[in-house]
Amino acid sequence: MVLPMKIDHMQVTVKDINEVESFYDGLMEALGFDLKKKIKVYLAELDMNVIEYLDGSYDFGICSALKPFENDTVHRRKPGAIHHIAFRASSRTEVDRIYQKVLELGAEILDEPQIFPQHGPNYYAVFFNDPDGIKYEIVNNDDHY
């Protein structure tokens, strides 16, 4: 039997990497990333700044937009766009903890932590946008706190 492959890393393009770095530092730390393992590089051949948050299970990164696209509006329903990224929390209490952190970071809260019965009887989640309007979710699909 072939097991499904796991995600190795994700990178999200942001409008201004310098403006959102502190937001992502706070979010990634709340999600359990060790900021001492964060790397920042400039790839001259691509004219791209990259910040990567490294972890043994997967890495998450943000990268700078190409100059002609810096002022484009983010829309999750454009072809090729990420609709949203959901991070799995170990408990509902963890969802609530991260919710408090993203509030402190100034995230736009789309839906406060609650059960979303349309996704299942135990689907407890919070939905929010980063400063560029990229949608994220923190979810716990268990029936316990």
User: Is a pLDDT exceeding 90 seen at residue 91?
Assistant: yes
Mean local confidence (pLDDT), 129-141: 97
Pick from 5, 93, 11, 101: nearest CA to 54: 11
Distance (Å, whole) CA 96 – CA 131: 20
Amino acid at 63: C
Mean local confidence (pLDDT), 90-105: 97
Pick from 56, 39, 40: nearest CA to 48: 40
The string of pLDDT tens digits covering residues 25-67 is: 999 999 999 999 999 999 999 999 999 999 999 999 999 999 9
The pLDDT value given to residue 12: 96
Mean local confidence (pLDDT), 4-10: 91
User: Is a pLDDT exceeding 80 seen at residue 145?
Assistant: no
The encoded tokens of residue 89 equal 């929390």
User: Is a pLDDT exceeding 90 seen at residue 73?
Assistant: no
Say which residue, 80 or 24, is predicted with more confidence: 24
The pLDDT value given to residue 35: 98
In terms of pTM, does the model score above 0.75? Answer: yes
Paired residues of 30 in beta bridges: none
The pLDDT value given to residue 87: 97
Three-state SS for the chain is CCCCCCCCEEEEEECCHHHHHHHHHHHHHHCCCCHHHCEEEEEHHHCEEEEEECCCCCEEEEEECCHHHCCCCCCCCCCCCCCCEEEECCCHHHHHHHHHHHHHCCCEEEEEEEECHHHCCCCEEEEEECCCCCEEEEEECCCCC
Judged by phi (left if over 0) then psi (alpha if -120 to 50, else beta), residue 47 lies in: left
Q: To the nearest whole number, what is the mean pLDDT of the chain?
A: 95
CATH numbers and ranges of domains, the chain = 7-70 (3.10.180.10), 83-145 (3.10.180.10)
